[in-house]
Amino acid sequence: MKTAKTTLGVIIGNRDFFPDKLVAEARTEIVALFEKLNITPILLTDADTKLGGVETFKEAQRCADLFKKHAADIQGILVVLPNFGDEKGVAETIKLANLNVPVLVQGYPDDLKKMDVVNRRDAWCGKISVCNNLYQFGIKYSLTTKHVVSPSDESFIADLQHFIAVCRVVKGMRNVRIGAVGARPGAFNTVRYSEKILQRNGISVTTVDLSEILGNANKLTADHARVKEKLEGIKAYTPTGKTPNDKLVQIAKLDVVLADFMAENALDATAIQCWTSLQQNYGCNVCTNMSMMSENMLPSACEVDVTGTLSMYAMQLASGTPSALVDWNNNYADDDTKCVLFHCGNWAKSFLPDIQISTAPILGTSVGVENTYGALEGRTPASPLTYGRISTDDSQGIIKAYVGEGELTNDALNTFGNRAVAQINNLQGLMQYVCRNGFEHHVVMNASKTAGILKEAFENYLGWQVYQHA
């Protein structure tokens, strides 16, 4: 995924009885670093305040006004402490700006050879004071790995990139719009969720009856221009195997209608009824459509798993790559650290180098295999793994989640559908946690190492209950 250029507000703290030159040097260094990392800074100039720093309340007002002018663009705020800094100035700026975005606090290290009056920083102590004030003001903030660190240090650059990903997740999750297509399958209580709890957290759900989608699809003809266009897109996306052309046309019609539904409602993701109404009433699977949407960063989950697709969207924001909804499905022989991840066939192409359209044999036993064309066949090879799940806990009135990391392996797996083998430390303990806390059988996987980003975003900034599996 090509992510948009990041814009961060920057507050450079100052305190008048520490050397001013350190503020000017820090401003130059941060601007140069941001240019290198393709980050747009919003910060005061030396014409606005002394050296572009923030110390007094009047300077805090000026900085806050500047941030307000760019409120639509600013995704987070970086606090830079080249010296002790003024803790009230920093906190007042963030309070007055009222942007409600993540905040990262950085302090410069002292040089033992420069501990004289004209070079001494004391940012080690100043950072504690700034954080104390942010805490008092009720402002959420993030910390660097090292308590004090130079902006040129590799650990700070990694911290900054981590923070930018946190900002993406927080911004995206506060405004996400999900389409729920159809009713959940009657036998799947596991995918029930609270639309009201989601809405309270800024997550909107737009519903549509499956009959409307299928009715509109059936009105289209094979020679319709958009159907032909979608059909070519499907053939370009994946080998079609033995799929009959009339089934491919059905899938293409469905693609047209789903695309219109998403565009009309400005949706970021969908959760679609599948098992078994779509096969019985339309005669194919929607897996290919869902895979194409997910590959194009419009995640789609089956069985109307709304919080499942929300989890997919969150991981996509964190990593910049597609996610897939999977079942915690099988043990892997007698290896307690491995398990099989599986689904009929809706994973994004990024996970399936050997992708092709096929059928869903398990589903076919009840609805007829000929009605399940559109499921994808493919094995996911070895890759990094972040897994996790967001869920609404109605009895507690909260959103909760678990996240963790592991590996996908190349271990032998002789079966059908979309499949992978995962290796996870203390997998048995994780399954105990999932079962004891009432989580769903669906989990989301992403080929990244982003669990820490997700935990920071969910827990610190969104206020959700999060377990990170070690």
DSSP for 380-443 reads --SEEEEEEEEEEETTTTEEEEEEEEEEEE-------SEEEEEE-TTHHHHHHHHHHTT--SEE
Q: What's the pLDDT score for residue 191?
A: 95
Q: Which residue has the higher pLDDT, 9 or 116?
A: 9
d(CA 373, CA 452): 39
* pLDDT band with cut points at 50, 70 and 90 for residue 1: very low
Strand partners, 13: 54
d(CA 208, CA 211): 8
Q: What's the pLDDT score for residue 21?
A: 86
CA dihedral 315, 319, 323, 325 (to 10 degrees): -30
Q: What's the pLDDT score for residue 20?
A: 80
> Do residues 374 and 285 make contact, with C-beta atoms less than 8 angstroms apart?
yes
Comparing CA positions, the residue from 402, 398, 347 lying closest to residue 375 is: 347
- Summarize pLDDT for 378-437 with one digit per residue, the tens: 999 999 999 999 999 999 999 999 999 999 999 999 999 999 999 999 999 999 999 999
- Summarize pLDDT for 333-386 with one digit per residue, the tens: 999 999 999 999 999 999 999 999 999 999 999 999 999 999 999 999 999 999
- Summarize pLDDT for 157-205 with one digit per residue, the tens: 999 999 999 999 999 999 999 999 999 988 889 999 999 999 999 999 9
Q: What's the pLDDT score for residue 115?
A: 87
Q: What are the structure tokens assigned to 393, written together?
A: 């806990």
- In this prediction, residues 51-60 reach a mean pLDDT of 95
What Cα–Cα distance (Å) separates residue 161 from each residue in 8, 38, 63? 12, 11, 24
With a cut of 80, say whether residue 19 has pLDDT above it: no
- Summarize pLDDT for 84-143 with one digit per residue, the tens: 999 999 999 999 999 999 999 999 999 999 888 778 889 999 999 999 999 999 999 999
DSSP letter for 13, please. Answer: B
Lowest mean pLDDT, pick from 13-17, 65-69, 225-229 = 13-17
d(CA 169, CA 337): 29
Q: What's the pLDDT score for residue 70?
A: 98
% pLDDT > 90, the chain: 94
Strand order, beta sheet including 39-42:
39-42, 6-12, 76-81, 103-107, 142-143
Number of neighbouring beta carbons within 10 Å of residue 436: 8
Q: What's the pLDDT score for residue 386?
A: 99
Comparing CA positions, the residue from 470, 469, 419, 464 lying closest to residue 170 is: 464
> Do residues 209 and 304 make contact, with C-beta atoms less than 8 angstroms apart?
no
With a cut of 90, say whether residue 5 has pLDDT above it: no
Coil vs helix vs strand at 336: strand
- Summarize pLDDT for 262-311 with one digit per residue, the tens: 999 999 999 999 889 999 999 999 999 999 999 999 999 999 999 999 99
Q: What's the pLDDT score for residue 114?
A: 87
Displacement of CA 371 from its chain's centroid (Å):
34
Q: What are the structure tokens assigned to 220, written together?
A: 């289209």
In the chain, the amino acid numbered 16 is: D
Q: What's the pLDDT score for residue 3?
A: 53
